[in-house]
Amino acid sequence: MYFKCMPSEIREFLAVDKQPVAEMSLEDLQAEVEGWRLVTGMLPIDVYQWLARMHEVVRITQRNYTGHVGILLGVKFEVTEYTLGLRETAFDQLRGRRIVEDKTLTIPANAVLFYEAIEDQVDFDPAAEDEALAAQELTVR
């Protein structure tokens, strides 16, 4: 299963303050170019098209067919949907057994209440969890 993901290295790359190009070594420049290639590789093609027109003369026609010619100074992009790659268990009633499905789930942005960024994961050990619960003492007042 292939998911386009943003590994922690890319998050770190985006968070680090960039030094002036004149002060960078060849290796630093190569690393920065590779980082930007990874970041821009995640953008949809329509974002590229708008970015390519920044600071150029464009004509924008409104819904009432009023045209405006000017310099494109900025574009605001809003999230319209989220696409998640996930693995879920299900029950196949035709064969009578549990299965694991790799899915791509598309969720409209207006259906999202909040999201959580998962920083770390560990395997769940039910036996250790049972031992931890058994060791707990309840006090009644």
Looking at residue 56, what is its pLDDT?
93
Share of the chain above pLDDT 90, in %: 32
Looking at residue 6, what is its pLDDT?
56
pLDDT of residue 9 exceeding 80, the answer is no
C-beta pairs of 37-42 under 8 Å, 24+ apart in sequence: 38/10, 38/13, 39/10, 39/13, 39/14, 42/4, 42/6
* CA-based torsion, 64, 69, 73, 79: positive or negative: positive
CB contact set of 53 (below 8 Å; sequence gap of 6+): 72
Q: Measured between alpha carbons, how far is residue 140 from residues 37, 137 in Å?
A: 60, 10
Q: How far apart are CA 59 and CA 66, in angstroms?
A: 10
Give the position of tokens 């007042």: 141
Looking at residue 103, what is its pLDDT?
92
What does the DSSP 8-state code read for residue 55?
T
pLDDT of residue 140 exceeding 90, the answer is no
Q: Is the pTM of this model over 0.85?
A: no
pLDDT digits (tens, 9 = 90+) for 72-108: 999 998 889 988 888 898 999 999 999 999 999 999 9
